[in-house]
Amino acid sequence: MSEADGVGPARVVVGTSDSLSSRTALYRAAEEARRRDAELWAVLAWDTPGGELTAHRPAGTEPLLDEWRRPARRALLTVLHETFGTAGPGVPMRAVLGRGPAGRTLVHIADRAGDLLVVGAGRRGRLRRLLSPSVSRYCIAHAACPVLAVPPSPLAADWKAAHRRNALRLPLDTRHLTDETQAKVPPER
């Protein structure tokens, strides 16, 4: 089956990393895959040390490339296991490594018109926006398929603030986090 001509099972392609917004996108992508009766393709984009400068190497350096690919594969499998556990996402899933910048890699893999590309749209500060391009904006501008940009979890800001205070060894009072979390989570029916 060719991926480029639109033949094959329906796919929901999702960009993954170890970030909280990525995990939120991963959950949403699994939900969309169940809804569409589609395969879930979890993609981790990775690059060689030195990026494009080391991408074009002479023949015979394949073992070195495998050595660089191994940690990326381990990171992808760890994220999937930590997100879904041993039960998995409840739909057929493929773990895919793509070499290159994240936006370009995701757009290249989600190349069918019937695909759905899911990316996390985490909040980014001014400095980070200036130094590194937004993956979600790149995908929205260049993808041949619909793109779902998943906003960060409402608890992400609280988690980051607690993490920052902990890293700086400042006193951390978690009582207000518990109260706010209970207010944000709807009661079970």
- Predicted pLDDT of residue 44: 98
Q: What is the pLDDT of residues 81-107, one digit of tens each?
A: 999 999 999 999 999 999 999 999 999
Average pLDDT over all residues of the chain: 83
Strand pairing report for 116-120 and 11-15? parallel
Q: What is the CATH topology of the domain spanning 11-153?
A: Rossmann fold (3.40.50)
Least confident of 33-47, 74-88, 170-184: 170-184
Strand locations in the chain (E): 11-15, 39-46, 93-99, 116-120, 147-150
- Ranges of each domain in the chain: 11-153, 155-189
Which tokens belong to 30? 């699994």
Q: What is the pLDDT of residues 37-71, one digit of tens each?
A: 999 999 999 987 766 555 555 555 667 778 889 99
Q: Global pTM? A: 0.76
